Structure 1
Amino acid sequence: MLEYDKIDKVPVAEIEPVYLITGEETLLMKRFIQRLQERLAPGGMEDFNLTRFEGKDFSIDTLLESCETLPVMCEKKLVILKNPWFLEPKGGGLESREEEKLKKYLKFPPDNTCLAIYCETKPDGRKSITKMLKKTCCVVDFQRLKEVELKKWIQAECAKRGKSISAGALIELIRNFDYLSRNPSQSLYDISGEIEKLAAFIGTKQEITDDVVRESSIYTFQNDVFELIDSLSKKKANETQVRFRKLLADGEPAMKIIAFLRNQFKTMIRVKEMEQNGYTASKIATKLKQHPFAVKKSLKYSKNFEENKLIELLNYFTQLDRKLKSGKMDAVVSMEMIIVEICS
């Protein structure tokens, strides 16, 4: 069980008077703070029993005054101190008078206040105030999850959304992220966002399967291309170039992007005509044997173009695709040139 779940089972009277909350996983830290707030300052009581301080925008005197104020109509109040400057490596230090006052408070904190010190940057362990915090208060350190923990966390995240995830899908999902690698670039925020998308993708179905994870990753690519089409329709050359380069950076070949654009403009012409003839999105999806997600996107973005413009764009990309397949042109350079031409 993760620390932020444990706090739900602790009686309010036993919630610690001071927490030092640190670690690499910002999402878990925020959830811990959220759980504390739900326990100590639930809806309607925030004005009386919750005070927030952040960065340099406070004095130690003001902080301690708030901590020593009695709670209203409850056992304990919550004071959140986010990213205090005096704990940061380059944040400088407190004046001796302020540091002594804070240390005195930390030695004998009142039972009717919970001071939650929340640090997104690792506190400077060389500072005496950091050493005292680690010695006297409850330290909650949210490090990156190990593989077993990550699997349990993903299953719990799915359950929160009323979904389950198969063993194969769990492996497939983790494989799509570099979270467990030696030098990861992604966090639980990224995985949480993907779970949210998968839950929406399967609609009323209950289980996320490995086929769903694979299919959804295809639609992630499609969604990125639709955003490129959107910026193209608005003649935003720089934005379109950025979206194109992002797709390349994600490992998508330029030839694949161009081929998809050609097929997409062809589909957009068809769905536009079918909608004008009274077809609904679901009927269009059935008729074209496409996923409703793709059809809805095609309908949405086809509205940004006149039909003759869609035909013109289809011709553009059909000719470009032929030239690329004959080896006469470089795909990346050609795509960048065509973006400039269309947006000019």
Structure 2
Amino acid sequence: MDLKAAVKAIRKGDIAPVYLLYGTEKYQMKQFADMLQENVIEEEHREFAVIPYDLSDTPLDAVVEEAETVPFLVPKKLVLVRDAGVFTAGKDSGKIEHRLDVLAAYIENPADYSVIVFMVHADKLDERKKIVKQIKSAAVVLAFSPLSSEELLSWVEKRMAERRVTLEEGAATALVRNAGTGLQALAAEIDKLCLFAGEGGTVGVKEIDSLVARSTEQNVFVMVEELANLRMENALSIFYELLKQREEPIKIAALITRQFRIILQVKELAQQSYSQQQMAGQLGLHPYAVKIAGEQARRFRPERLRWILNELAELDYRMKTGAVDKVLGMELFFLKLGAQTV
């Protein structure tokens, strides 16, 4: 069962006794858990009927015992279980003993008055484990992976449309560029922009640039875009702005190095016919970041990217050893990059 089918079933009243949610997209996972709560537990009962557990400090036996215990004064209860690392390949700390056989027995004969939701913040489950195979056959297992670049922009536009606010062309891209790809941060910025525009209003790139502050990482992301287009004056302007925010030149250089390394990796993987999703998985990046890196990669030959990375490595050494003033070293790098024609 996929996410859309699961949501549709829940809203029709078809509630499974056990759900296993996993993936790195925590915001969507929480939204699903909240939606499930709204459909399973009446608002006046939630104080008593929603029971949270954390397997880092609670044995699995206690979760099963709670699910088997008849609810008091409420018709149904929801047991939310976080840090459910028993389903992944991560190392067990050994502090808490989890009896997986107890859970295996429960999922074969679950209580009809309880719903257990396991929330696993990992990109995949350990398919070698017997309990994973059992829960996949007896429960609803849903993956929450990062949205593709197209899905991410569509998600932004949909959220704005739900608030009856129109986005001008390019505004969704500008918002992701400034706020990053995290859905929670994007949702907060969307709320702010909608309050500013008001119902029936319009938000454009200008409003986003004035209202949505970029993090250091996002500033470096834009700086590399300016460097890729040889707009050195704009790149230096961002650099000086970061200095005003008391960011260390060595940290800025490290972030620039990381982005150029990603660009080179994406270029090499593209030459091997990797898809955008495959690159994201291989590099541990959001698909949108891979898309932008791919666009930037088209402006560079592999030899030029390797030259840039070598220059950044040399700059890092010289700054850390005091061979060059940090700010001056960064300025010289920008100027050298603008003049270099490899």
1:1-344 to 2 correspondences below 5 Å: 3=3, 7=7, 10-11=10-11, 13-71=13-71, 76-88=76-88, 89-91=90-92, 98-121=99-122, 122-176=124-178, 179=181, 187-202=182-197, 206-217=201-212, 243-245=245-247, 332=327
Alpha-carbon distance between aligned partners in 1 of 2:13 and 2:199, rounded to the nearest angstrom: 41
CA 1:162–1:69 in structure 2 vs 1: closer, same or farther (change >3 Å)?
Answer: farther
CA change 1:47–1:172 in 2 (3 A) is closer
TM-score scaled by length of structure 2 = 0.56
What is the CA-CA distance between 1:162 and the residue it aligns to?
A: 4.3
Q: Residue 116 of structure 1: SS of its match in structure 2?
A: strand
> Structure 1 residues 6 and 123, CA, compared in 2 at 3 Å: closer, same or farther?
closer
Call closer, same or farther: CA 1:165–1:124 in 2, change over 3 Å.
same
Q: CA deviation at 1:196?
A: 2.9
TM-score (norm: length of structure 1)? 0.55
Contact map agreement 1:41 1:78 (CA 8 A) in 2: yes
Residues 1:135 and 1:247: Cα distance change in structure 2 (over 3 Å): farther
Contact 1:20/1:140 (<8 A) preserved = yes
Deviation digits for residues 205-252 of structure 1 (CA, Å, limit 9, x no counterpart) = 6222233223435x658xxxxxxxxxxxxxxxxxx989410799679x
Distance 2:134 2:59 in 1: 19
Aligned mates of 1:9, 1:135 — CA distance in 2: 18
Q: State the AA in 1 paired with 2:145.
A: Q
Matched residues, number: 231
Q: Pick closer, same or farther for the CA change 1:133–1:81 going to 2, 3 Å.
A: same
Following superposition, the deviation at residue 199 of structure 1 comes to 2.6
Partners of 1:202 and 1:212 within 8 A in 2: no
Aligned partners of 1:80 and 1:117 also within 8 Å:
yes
Structure 2 gap segments, 5+ residues each: 216-241, 254-324, 329-342
Partner of 1:341: none
Note if contact 2:179-2:189 (Cα within 8 Å) is conserved in structure 1: no
Name the amino acid aligned to 1:138. V
**What per-residue deviation string (whole Å, max 9, x for no partner) do you get for residues 84-135 of structure 1?**
2433411268969x32221111112223221100011344333222222223
Please say if residues 21 and 117 of structure 1, whose CA atoms lie closer than 8 Å, have aligned partners that are also in contact.
yes
For 2:298, the equivalent position in structure 1 comes to: none
C-alpha root-mean-square deviation of aligned residues, in Å? 3.9
**Local SS of the residue matching 2:246:** helix
Q: Which amino acid in 1 is paired with 2:154?
A: K
Aligned partner of 1:224 in structure 2 is none
Q: CA deviation at 1:83?
A: 1.0
Alpha-carbon distance between aligned partners in 2 of 1:202 and 1:211, rounded to the nearest angstrom:
12
Verify the 8 A CA contact 2:160 2:190 in the aligned structure 1.
yes
Structure of greater Rg: 1
Q: Which residue of 2 aligns with 1:323?
A: none
CA distance in 2, matches of 1:189, 1:247: 29
In structure 1, C-alpha distance between the alignment counterparts of 2:187 and 2:139, rounded to whole Å: 30
